[in-house]
Amino acid sequence: MAAARPSGFWSGALCPQLLVTLAILIIASEACKNVTLNVPSKLDAKKLVGRVNLKECFKSANLIHSSDPDFHILEDGSVYTTNTILLSLEKRSFTILLSNTENQEEKKILVFLEHQTKVLKKRHTKEKVLRRAKRRWAPIPCSMLENSLGPFPLFLQQVQSDTAQNYTIYYSIRGPGVDQEPRNLFYVERDTGNLYCTRPVDREQYESFELVAFATTPDGYTPELPLPLLIKIEDENDNYPIFTEETYTFTILENSRVGSTVGQVCATDKDEPDTMHTRLKYSIIGQVPPSPTLFFMHPSTGVITTTSSQLDRELIDKYQLKIKVQDMDGQYFGLQTTSTCIINIGDVNDHLPTFTRTSYVTSVKENTVDVEILRVSVEDKDLVNTANWRANYTILKGNENGNFKIVTDPKTNEGILCVVKPLNYEEKQQVIVQIGVVNEAPFSREASSRSAMSTATVTVNVEDQDEGPECNPPIQTVRMKENAAVGTTSNGYKAYDPETRSSSGIRYKKLTDPTGWVTVDENTGSIKVFRSLDREAETIRNGIYNITILASDQKGRTCTGTLGIILQDVNDNGPFIRKQQVTICKPTMSSAEIVAVDPDEPINGPPFDFSLESSTSEVQRMWRLEKINDTAARLSYQNDPAFGIYVVPITVRDRFGLSSVSSLDVTLCDCITENDCAFRVDPSTGGGGIQLGKWAILAILLGIALLFCILFTLVCGASRTSKPLKVIPDDLAQQNLIVSNTEAPGDDKVYSVNGFTTQTVGASAQGICGTVGSGVNNGGQTIEMVKGGHQTLESCQRAGHHHTLDSCRGGRVEVDNSRCTYSEWHSFTQPRLGEESIRGHTG
């Protein structure tokens, strides 16, 4: 038998004689519940008593307070003692106050302390009783210095249980550093509980170890719950701070203001954060070139700024700094590392381009174009091949006629002066041009300090050369009447020698003449009418007829020009009516408006006079003309003429009496709009043929379609029954059978009634018609059809000797299964069909 085992608590062995029941009564909330906890009669200070579910009572509480100062309540509901408490036999209580400061809501939990006597029995391994831990079996803070020099094994602490006073206790540990990586770093002596470390530990690799200690008896009983042990590795300043880059490179523009940010450097340290071992300080310990000192580094952030605005790229374009970072907040014993920082000075346009010379002289032959006559160069101290260095040249003066252009050579940055429009020695022998130059980028300094543009003067001497004839102006005009007689002459195009300003010795030739109306004299350039002129011809635009003239000198040098012959109008065209076809819709219109035009100039045109031109009185009787304005009249019919097409001749005279007769095709139509008119004049027959309009054609098609619907309905109605009805009373027929124009149905026979032939259709046709439904309306009479798929009256009759239409259509008419003779059917239907026919004609 094993010895009796103590029932000590996990947090320590507590007195088992007297227990106290802690009852918690939650009030002021429906969600609160009563909770009972068993605790010893003596409660040590700063010990966990129990835990209350505060969220179940008041979820939004943000302020927790205890009415008894001997107890402290944490946010998770843990109740701790603040002082050592001895509970008497009497009840003791305190209140937990929960409140929300945002909405001022409060709730209370009333805690009652009762005690009762209970002797602890042998504890089962699965027993769940909340107990207070004894001091000697409690988590003990433990630490060791990283990279310790020993001696090893190094004693750390002792783990001990109070139950060892009466029983034999064996101690053991598990966790990282024992049976997990790094293995065999820690061990505990089985009998004493002494905890040892076997070798140095690097904190940067393992910051702490969480072990679990066990206390067991030789027979395997565990009087204590597993005890967590935390071993923290204390940091040693064994890591140097390291810059994130071996060499930093920054760029700042020259002439930057004091305090401008250049860049920021950064370093890292693997030692424990938020300690002196990782508190870094930055500094600049060297500069190349050493003077002047232009940069400052913030000791905490590593930001580099300028201390002067005298950065000049043209003097020094790069600085090299040696920088240092040191831990221990820069104290002399701290670890330090250095790095290099290169600062490039960026270029700005702080230097103007200047011409290497202030004046230039060049020459060019007259009449030459697209030639380079001069190259000019500039100096600029800014960075080459940048917008601050590249030059933009412009012509400031002397180019009012647009003879010159200056561009930049992208390779040499030189200015190239070219002639783009010919110069004339006879007009000007010398041209003085002023040019200027700026950079592509705007100048960065104040404009008041100096001029923002460099200028130079270019003198261009124009050289004379023997020239050919000159056609100037290139377009010349003459005036002629359009009725000028053939052979009439007039001045022509004149070219001249630019040297002598004379036209002698120049020959002329016609290059283009669209209609061949004129000829050109070879020696004088004068023109002669060769064919009759017509101002109203299609080739004339705005009354001007253009021909092209080629002028040449004795050396064969030529020039071309245009001669515009302005044709003066004469009254040689009578006015006419352009729209020859007129439609008048009689229901909506009584007249139509006609408009006349005159190809001549307005001076020879309106006002026009309109009149009916006819030798017969019939036209005068049917039509009437009324003048609307100078160019239009209203044609209206009278005496109610019949529908049709009429030819109405109308005479139109201009202001000088010149006239013409226009024969109009006037259509009188029964329509609403002109497009609705069914009459159309056939152009191929000269108005003699008549064509139907689209609406008339549509009406005919609709009538044909309606006729086919009627025929189809009659055929379907005739095939509804294959057997004749023998006896059909008059009243019953009038009440239930709807009269139809289908006559004398029978079995595969043809009958002729009143000239109309009807042939019954077999079972297939009956199925088609029988499935249609209730009926088809045809001219006010209805043919009833059978519902319900491919059923016919005959199919219903075959089922028995005496049936009604109710089985097929729901009607009331009783039908006998026997056949009736044709004479009986004819005597029954013929009078009624005759009555319907007479009624239809009278209707």
Categorize the per-residue pLDDT at 828 as very low, low, confident or very high, splitting at 50, 70 and 90: low
- Asked if residue 35 has pLDDT above 80, the reply is no
Q: pLDDT of 382-391, one tens digit each?
A: 999 999 999 9
Percent of the chain with pLDDT over 90: 32
Do 163 and 109 lie in one domain? The reply is: no
Interacting residues of 333 by C-beta distance below 8 A, sequence separation 6+:
none
Lowest mean pLDDT among 68-72, 185-189, 354-358, 761-765: 761-765
Question: Which domain covers residue 413, as residue numbers?
Answer: 354-463
Instruction: Look at phi and psi of residue 839 and say left if phi exceeds 0, alpha if psi is from -120 to 50, else beta.
Output: alpha
Q: How many domains does the chain have?
A: 6
Peptide bond into 607 cis (omega under 30): yes
pLDDT tens profile 473-522: 989 898 888 778 888 888 888 888 887 778 888 899 888 888 888 999 88
Q: What is the pLDDT of residues 524-575, one digit of tens each?
A: 888 888 888 888 787 787 888 898 999 998 888 889 999 988 887 778 788 8
**Stretch 108-133: mean pLDDT, rounded?**
47
Helix or strand run (H / E) with residue 431: strand 430-439
Residue 24 forms part of a structural domain: no
456 in any annotated domain: yes
Whether 309 is covered by a domain: the verdict is yes
**Arithmetic mean of pLDDT over the chain:** 76
At 823 the pLDDT is 52
- 646 shares a domain with 589: yes
Q: Are residues 224 and 207 in the same domain?
A: yes
What average pLDDT does this structure show over 8-31? 35
**pLDDT confidence of residue 812:** 39
| Tens-place pLDDT, residues 592-650 | 888 988 887 888 888 988 888 866 677 888 888 888 898 899 888 888 888 888 888 88
Q: Residue 810 domain-assigned?
A: no
d(CA 103, CA 62): 11
pLDDT above 80 (res 123): no
More confident residue, 45 or 372: 372
How far apart CA 839 and CA 780 sit, in angstroms, is 11
pLDDT at 391: 94
Give burial (CB, 10 Å; 0-12/13-18/19+) of 509. middle
Q: Please check whether residues 335 and 295 belong to one and the same domain.
A: yes
- 558 located within any domain: yes
Q: Which two tokens stand for residue 443?
A: 């100048």
pLDDT more than 70, % of the chain: 72
Residue 739 has pLDDT above 90, yes or no: no
| Least confidently predicted of 238-252, 322-336, 457-471, 689-703 | 689-703
The answer to whether position 223 is within a domain reads yes
Among candidate residues 644, 669, 694, the one where a domain is terminated: 669
Query: Residue 194 corresponds to which tokens in the numbers above?
Result: 């002494």
The residue from 422, 438, 463 where one domain ends is: 463
User: Is 587 part of a structural domain of the chain?
Assistant: yes
pLDDT of residue 824: 55
Asked if residue 628 is part of any domain, the answer here is: yes
Distance between CA atoms of 543 and 570, rounded to whole angstroms?
12
What per-residue confidence (pLDDT) applies to 115? 59
Helical packing angle, 694-718 and 763-770, nearest 10°: 120
Task: Say whether both 457 and 485 belong to one domain.
Answer: no
User: In terms of domains, do 106 and 60 share one?
Assistant: yes
pLDDT of residue 604: 83
Do both 189 and 162 map to the same domain? yes
Q: What is the spatial distance between Cα 525 and Cα 508, in angstroms, rounded to a whole number? A: 5
Do 256 and 164 lie in one domain? The reply is: no
Q: What is the CATH number of the domain that holds 659?
A: 2.60.40.60
| Tens-digit pLDDT profile for residues 303-318 | 999 999 889 999 999 9
Question: In this structure, are 338 and 364 located in the same domain?
Answer: no
**One domain, residues 290 and 321:** yes
Question: Which pair of tokens denotes residue 139?
Answer: 């988590």
Domain identity same for 560 and 585: no
The last residue of a domain, from among 181, 203, 234: 234
| Same-domain status, 371 and 405 | yes
pTM above 0.85, yes or no: no
For 755-812, write each residue's pLDDT tens digit: 333 333 333 333 333 333 333 343 333 333 333 333 333 333 333 433 333 333 333 3
pLDDT of residue 780: 38
